Amino acid sequence: MSEAEPTFMGLNPGGWVALAMLVVFAVLIWKKVPGAVGRALDSKITLIRDQLAEAESLRKEAEALKAEYEAKSASADKDREALLDRAKHEADEIVAKAKTDAEALIERRTRMAEDKIAAEERSAVEQLRASAADAAAKVAARLIAERHDAATDAKLVDQAITEIAGR
């Protein structure tokens, strides 16, 4: 036993799909879509032909340029030899000047180093003198503190006050 398919107005689902497709095709033809697609394809074909023609002309120009540059390359080899000779001569001059400059620089740097060493020596001597003076002041303060007692200090303070008041 087979099941009955549903129908509407005598058409089963497959029939309705076919009818819908016919309506879509009819609308496409009525709106002139195939002609528009044809015109679009024709314009695309024309564009591609133009691009191919342009590519061909560019290829010919490139071949001409290649030939021109090959000719220039041949003459450039001769120029290169002359440039190499000149460059070697200039390099020899530069090396000689660099040696002279390096010797002068070494002499200048040596003088600067000697001056810096002398300055460092003076600074070290000044620091040594300052340290010696500081040590001497500390020793003197300690000796004074050991030799003076509170009574001596009081007497010195009184004497200083008297001198200040007397002025």
Q: How far is CA 70 from CA 50, 59, 66, 67, 131, in A?
A: 30, 16, 6, 5, 82
Tell me the pTM: 0.32
- Mean pLDDT over 145-157 rounds to 76
Is the predicted pLDDT of residue 111 greater than 90, yes or no? yes
Q: What is the pLDDT of residues 71-95, one digit of tens each?
A: 888 888 888 888 999 999 999 999 9
For 8, the 3-state DSSP assignment is strand
Beta bridge partners of 8: 11
Q: What pLDDT, on a 0 to 100 scale, did the predictor assign at position 8? A: 74
Is the predicted pLDDT of residue 53 greater than 60, yes or no? yes
Q: What pLDDT, on a 0 to 100 scale, did the predictor assign at position 163? A: 86
Q: What pLDDT, on a 0 to 100 scale, did the predictor assign at position 167? A: 65
Q: What pLDDT, on a 0 to 100 scale, did the predictor assign at position 142? A: 80
> Which two structure tokens, joined as six digits, stand for 23?
């309506």
